[in-house]
Structure 1
Amino acid sequence: MIGWLLFFFGIFLAMLGYASYRSYRKDRTSDDFIFAGSNIGTILGFLTFSAALFSAFTFMGMPDFFRTHGVGAWIFLALSDALMVFFLIWFGYALRKRASIQGYKGVAGLVKVCYGNSFAGYLVFTSAFLFLIPYVAIQIRGISIFLDAAFPGMLPYWSWSALLVFIMLIYSEIGGLKAIVYSDAIQGVIMLAVIWIIGLTCLKMAGGLEDGIAKVAEANQDLLSLPGPKGLFSSPFLIASAIAIILIPVSQPQFTTRLVVMKSLKSVHRMAYAVGIFAILVILPTAFIGLYGAIQYPDASTADFLSQALLNDQAVPVAALAVVGLFAACLSTTNAQIFALGTELRSLLGGSDKSNMRVTKISIMVFSMIVLVFSTYMSDQLVLLARVSFAGTSMIAPVVLGAVIFSKPPKSLIPLSAIALVTFILSIVGVIPDKISGLPLDFIMYIILFVCTAVIMLTHPKSNK
């Protein structure tokens, strides 16, 4: 096992090193560092978008989600991602049009300029910071759980997290966004290949799809229907989850920026279609792994199930590939989101290009250290924690959409988004209930936000569009 690990990791790290080398330019500006020359083509674009979107929570969280909650997990993620693709086509067009007029340094900076209001920009940055830091910590937590269970006693628990953060910092600090895009392409291909190898192996060990479903039905019929054995997949939960995922390109800056740095609008559209196909391809095998887990390890802990299904029950080379694939999946998301936080902070700064570059690099290091600390306190519920991140950032979607749609956006969207964000945060910390009359709070808030935003936008003068 160790020999195979060293072999595959050696290849993987060599590819990352080459990506960093290809991306480095001594005389680059901060725009070159942050936006990769705004010349990303379709293939690199869809791979970097997909690798940032599907991460450790997909690789490990979704099989465990299928195992625990059943087929509703497919509706939760796959259907929502398909809907997001259609939204991407319109939003990519509107965003690029606004960015060409106002300039683009980051989502927070664009919002600040469009509204002529610094608070609006800091509201967007605060939302990203509050919910992306925990989301990145989820990824690191996930890979640490897996590696610690796979190699007990080999290294202290925290050192797995520290190793991942160190690798991320090295190549992102050297190559900037271009290095991250190249590494995302590498990691996306590795993740897709590995998850299909494991998924098909698990499906075979379950006796095939038909026999596997029959065994699951015999063990726990509720896994094959909604709302699932634990009642999670209610209609309000699924609708609220779909809205949160559809709004990811609006509310999570690592994806918004990727739409702007694409070479052309045609590349954005092609990228959107490819992301939809990639979503189906990457989520389907997680259902096979979850099906196998529901049959073989229905009562196991998350760590035990994953270490068995992804490592101990696989051939040695496949198990080694699984470790590398998980590491790659985690790395692609963590670097995208930490880098995005640095980009957003930089978009709010004045000063010289040199000082902005220095602040951006320092902030990336600081955010990485914060994530490292947070990762030791996260729970093991990777998918549900990821959903909280999606929902939290989506609360500021009205203020971002206003900036994209209107040349002079209605300023009433600022307090609307701020109130929504504060309310959601208060529900997380337990100050206010997270359910009202049995309905999830975020579901109720989406209804209120939709109605209020629609009224504000429809009554805003058309001359400002």
Structure 2
Amino acid sequence: MIGWLLFFFLLFLASLAYASYKSYRKNRSSEEFMLAGSNIGTILGFLTFSAALFSAFTFMGMPDFFRVHGVGAWIFLGFSDALMVFFILWFGYALRKRAAEVGYQGVAGFVQSCFRNKWAGYLVFASSFLFLIPYVAIQIRGISIFLNASFPDLLPYWGWSALLVIIMLVYSEIGGLKAIMYSDAIQGVILLVVIWIIGVTCLTMAGGVEAGTQAVLESNEALLSLPGPKGLFSPAFLIASTIAIMMIPVSQPQFTTRLVVMKNLKSVHKMAYAVGIFAILVILPTAFIGLYGAVKYPDASTADFLSSALLFDQANPVAALAVVGLFAACLSTTNAQIFALGTELRSLLSGDDKRNMRITKLGILVFSLIVLVFSSLISDELVLLARVSFAGTSMIAPVVLSAVIFKNPPKSILILSALGLSYFVLSLLGWVPAGFAGLPTDAAMYLILIPATSILMLLHHSKTKKLHAA
């Protein structure tokens, strides 16, 4: 297997080197470095968006999620992603139209310009920092669990994490956002191919869909129904998850920026449709792997199940390709999100461009070191941790939506989102009740934020209309 591993790794690293070379410009502006020149076509746009959305947590987290919590995992992710695709069709149009009016260097700076209020930008940046750092750490945690369990004598846990971060820093420094997008494209293709090979293999080893389902039915019938054996998939959980995932293009800056840097609106719409198809194709085989795990490894730890199903139970070439695929998935997502934090920081700076770029690159280094530390502190519930990240950033979605919809957005939205974000963070720390009215925190917050945001927007629209009429 070592021979296959070296072969695939060399191919992957060679493709990264070529992408870096193609993306490098000696005297590039910050616009070229941070926003890829805002001229991304449909195919690259679709692959970079999909790869950032479906990453190591999909490859590793979703099979384990199916194994532990059952078929509700398909509804949790599949249905939510489908709705997100339809939402992108409207949001992409409205965002690009508004960005053309006020300019765009990042979501935080964009919101700051729209509200004409520096605290609006700080609020968006704080949300991104608080929840993207854990999300990036999830990727590193996931791949480190897998690699450390699979190759216990090769590198210590922290060694795998450090290797990922070093490659990410070097790669992003050389090529900027364009190189990261090429990396995403490579990763997206590898992810789709590998996950289907492993998914079909696992389904065959489970005896096929019918035999595998029957075995699960006999051992743990609750896996095949809602709310699942642990009662996770309640209506409140599924509705809140759908809202959080739908808001990803609004509240997660790496996705918002990708909508802006597409070369035209037609490319955005084609990209959205392609992402929907990719979502179905990439989630389905994770269910096959999860079914196999429920049959053969019902009581195994996450690390044991993943290392067995993705590595030890596969043929050597497939196992080697799985390692490279996971490494690529983790690298591209880590790249995208750390770089997105750098973009957000850059969008809040003013003054000399070269000075701002130095500060931005230093910021990316600091963010990477924080991620390294955080990755050693989080648990193995990769999908649930990813969902917390989506839910946390969605608390500031009213701010971004208001900036996109209104020429002079209401300041009251800033207060509403700040209170929502603060309560969500404090609930995670255990300083305030985690949920109320019999609902989990995110669902309860949406029950307040959605009607409150709607009322404030309607009042603002009415007031603006009367002023124009006068």
| TM-score, length basis structure 2 | 0.98
Shift of 1:435: 2.6
1:76 aligned onto 2:76: yes
The one-letter code of the counterpart of 1:383 is: V
Q: Which residue of 1 aligns with 2:433?
A: 433
Aligned partner of residue 380 in structure 1, secondary structure: coil
Q: Distance in 1 between matches of 2:438 and 2:224?
A: 24
The one-letter code of the counterpart of 2:164 is: L
Shift of 1:366: 1.1
Shift of 1:183: 0.8
Q: Which residue of 1 aligns with 2:451?
A: 451
Task: Judge which range, 41-50 or 360-369, deviates more.
Answer: 360-369
Task: Judge which range, 134-143 or 152-161, deviates more.
Answer: 152-161
Q: Distance in 2 between matches of 1:141 and 1:254?
A: 20
Shift of 1:81: 0.3
Q: Aligned residues, how many?
A: 465
Aligned partner of residue 318 in structure 2, secondary structure: helix
Q: Distance in 1 between matches of 2:254 and 2:127?
A: 13
Q: Which residue of 2 aligns with 1:20?
A: 20
Q: Which residue of 1 aligns with 2:285?
A: 285
Shift of 1:423: 0.3
Q: Distance in 1 between matches of 2:412 and 2:112?
A: 14
Q: Which residue of 1 aligns with 2:40?
A: 40
1:393 aligned onto 2:397: no
Q: Is there any run of 5+ residues in structure 1 with no aligned partner, and where?
A: none
1:97 aligned onto 2:97: yes
Q: Distance in 1 between matches of 2:126 and 2:306?
A: 34
Q: Which residue of 2 aligns with 1:411?
A: 411
Shift of 1:359: 1.3
Q: Which residue of 1 aligns with 2:319?
A: 319
Q: Distance in 1 between matches of 2:67 and 2:417?
A: 36
Q: Which residue of 2 aligns with 1:298?
A: 298
Aligned partner of residue 238 in structure 2, secondary structure: helix
Q: Which residue of 1 aligns with 2:307?
A: 307
Shift of 1:239: 0.3
The one-letter code of the counterpart of 2:429 is: V
1:182-201 to structure 2, matched below 5 A, reads 182-201=182-201
Shift of 1:104: 0.4
The one-letter code of the counterpart of 1:210 is: E
Shift of 1:47: 0.2
1:214 aligned onto 2:214: yes
The one-letter code of the counterpart of 1:75 is: I
Task: Judge which range, 429-438 or 174-183, deviates more.
Answer: 429-438
1:32-431 to structure 2, matched below 5 A, reads 32-431=32-431
**RMSD of Structure 2 on Structure 1 (CA):** 0.9
Aligned partner of residue 357 in structure 2, secondary structure: helix
Runs of 4+ in 1 over 6 A off after TM superposition: none
Shift of 1:438: 2.6
Contact 2:399 2:413 in 1 (8 A): yes
**Identity across the alignment (%):** 77
Q: Distance in 1 between matches of 2:285 and 2:44?
A: 23
Q: Distance in 2 between matches of 1:364 and 1:38?
A: 21
Q: Distance in 2 between matches of 1:12 and 1:174?
A: 17
CA 1:52–1:327 in structure 2 vs 1: closer, same or farther (change >3 Å)?
A: same
Aligned partner of residue 85 in structure 1, secondary structure: helix
1:221-266 CA distance string (max 9 Å, x none) = 1000000000000000000011000000000000000000001000
Q: Distance in 2 between matches of 1:324 and 1:345?
A: 31
Aligned partner of residue 460 in structure 1, secondary structure: helix
Q: Which residue of 1 aligns with 2:30?
A: 30
Q: Distance in 1 between matches of 2:28 and 2:249?
A: 27
Shift of 1:441: 1.6
| TM-score, length basis structure 1 | 0.99
1:331-370 CA distance string (max 9 Å, x none) = 1111000000000000000111111111111111111111
The one-letter code of the counterpart of 1:266 is: K
1:41-66 CA distance string (max 9 Å, x none) = 00000100000001111000000000
Q: Distance in 1 between matches of 2:276 and 2:169?
A: 30
Q: Distance in 2 between matches of 1:282 and 1:123?
A: 34
Q: Distance in 1 between matches of 2:167 and 2:154?
A: 19
Q: Distance in 2 between matches of 1:176 and 1:157?
A: 28
Task: Judge which range, 424-433 or 292-301, deviates more.
Answer: 424-433
Q: Distance in 2 between matches of 1:448 and 1:339?
A: 32
Q: Distance in 1 between matches of 2:461 and 2:77?
A: 37
1:271-311 CA distance string (max 9 Å, x none) = 00000000010000000000000000000000000000000
Contact 2:106 2:257 in 1 (8 A): yes
The one-letter code of the counterpart of 2:101 is: I
Contact 2:56 2:330 in 1 (8 A): yes
Q: Is there any run of 5+ residues in structure 2 with no aligned partner, and where?
A: none
The one-letter code of the counterpart of 1:319 is: A
Q: Which residue of 2 aligns with 1:461?
A: 461
Q: Distance in 2 between matches of 1:50 and 1:408?
A: 33
Q: Distance in 2 between matches of 1:192 and 1:434?
A: 37
Aligned partner of residue 448 in structure 1, secondary structure: helix
The one-letter code of the counterpart of 2:297 is: Y
Aligned partner of residue 25 in structure 1, secondary structure: coil
Shift of 1:437: 3.7
Aligned partner of residue 299 in structure 1, secondary structure: coil
Contact 2:437 2:444 in 1 (8 A): no
The one-letter code of the counterpart of 1:213 is: T
